[in-house]
Chain A
Amino acid sequence: MLKELFTKKKKYASIPSEQMKQDVPEGIMTKCPKCKKIMYTKELVKNLRVCISCHYHHPMPSRERIASLLDEGSFREYDAEMISENPLQFPDYLEKLEADRRKSNLNEAVVTGEGTLNGHPLVIAVMDSAFRMGSMGSVVGEKITRAVEKARELGVPFLIFTASGGARMQEGVLSLMQMAKTSAALKLFSDEGGLIISVMTHPTTGGVSASFASLGDYNFAEPGALIGFAGRRVIEQTVREELPEDFQTAEFLLKHGQLDAVIHRHELKETLTNVLDIHQARGDGGWWEN
């Protein structure tokens, strides 16, 4: 009897099976993919989707991102009704888009608009990985380009949150050209003194990391975010060498001089406010009069 208590059987009985792991009720509870802690989704959302136990940054839907940063009621969305066509007549593309629209309640992989952040007016673009992995096709490129043009017209900063697997394959070379289009818009804006802030979130790869995501006057990233040009597997196959554990993480990029800072989501609003303050402070305090 007593012996039974110490048998091996007891040990693995307490570990949930694969089946049980998936049985966490979706919606009510969320399991952290990093530390495996199961928590109330409500609690997680309230914590800006940062794991309450290990600080893993869960993907943040564009709506929540905007609500977490902009002053209440200040957001006005641009081009919400813009949707993709099927320029290559790619098989099943329209159906996939429709399915993602239903699933995510978004028309495309980026939300753009204007609002104020602690009183600072700005134009904001937030990519959303819930829609086609945040991939960039014609609509994403056009919406970002128009948002940059709007920032230029209004003379306000442009803030972008990236989350994307890269260019959208189903729109072929037109997706590729969005890299040039968005970058060109940023160049014209920048030449007129426009402030560009890029915050890379998980994941920011391929054509998005190789265009607007890397073009901020300030390039920030969230902790642990995957950021890179080529996929890890592609690199492993090409170079046949062991890649470091932290390869292509935000921290790896910071170490290699590719980022200004890695910022915890809880400190993001404060950091952005500070940067915006400093940019607006020019001429204040009587420095230029004396």
Chain B
Amino acid sequence: MTNPNGRFGMHGGQYIPETLMNAVIELEEAYNRYKDDPDFCRELETLFNEYANRPSRLYYAENLTAALGGARIYLKREDLNHTGAHKINNVLGQALLAKKMGKTRLIAETGAGQHGVATATAAALMGMECVVFMGEEDTKRQALNVYRMKLLGAEVVPVKSGTATLKDAVSEAMREWTKRIDDTHYCLGSVMGPHPFPTIVRDFQAVISKETKRQILEKEGRLPDAVLACVGGGSNAIGSFYHFIEDKGVRLIGCEAAGRGIDTFETAATISTGKLGIFHGMKSYFCQDDMGQIAPVYSISAGLDYPGVGPEHAYLHDIGRAEYVAVTDDEAVQAFEYLSRTEGIIPAIESAHAVAYAMKLAPTMDKDKIIVITISGRGDKDCAAIARYKGEDIYD
């Protein structure tokens, strides 16, 4: 899906300072050298299976299916991975690659903290130094994850600039990388940023759809009718979609965070409300004003609270291969509670956006249709924040 310049249609590219150009070229060369190397692939597969608890389950959600009264619903349980989210897939791949490149230090941005925790985990496992940049606002929303990262030996740097959320954490991690390149790999957490990151991260996350395809064929003997995943930068979504892109009968549905609604300024639904721009190393869609200033976006979910979207999603949207829908905070919170009660599975508030759309979609489909929802992460980290949203006075 990528051409040599890292383009997905008109999106993607390498819009970064000259200081970083040789670093991304070196990364691309290393990735091309190792991605098909049998030893590298074997080592990564062992880490996936033995350390991260892959393959993740494809679980038939019988209660949810019955309650919604339509399509058969399967949950791809990325929440059962080690560290509790899909983020570990990408991080193990990049950390192993960084190690092969002779890097001794990982830096990362994090929103909800899941990517930061995964990076801190891989750094601990592989004996690397780790610094995680996290918006100060998010360090408050996700205090438990800050503690987890510190426990794993990482340094957590609260970012105070801008809106003090994910976009500012990305900016600060990019700044840090320009300061120290020799021994440092920037372990970017989503399918965004300059080429080759959108391709590398997609390839490591594509294990999700590779497994889903095999598992659904085993269980149902056919492909699903729709695959749903939440989209911030879009890594779990592209991972969930990738091996189905050529299967035109499978609807691919990305669920963006509408925050308080796409008709308000308090939204992070990039494809619904953004326009074409250049930011954080890529050309893609961004929430921005008339003069190209990046908008201070909002979502209840720290992991989806980002003003852009990965370039491959922008391309899949352009060509009409994937659909992108907007889900509000209220809908996501309702889905968070609904899945907890019907299936005994507490999803991450990010993943709850995909569940929320499935709650609308499934009842409109026949009972012989099949939906797969990727549960990208577990929701323990969100319990305190959701309780506060519901007006309960608890603090984590």
A binds B: no
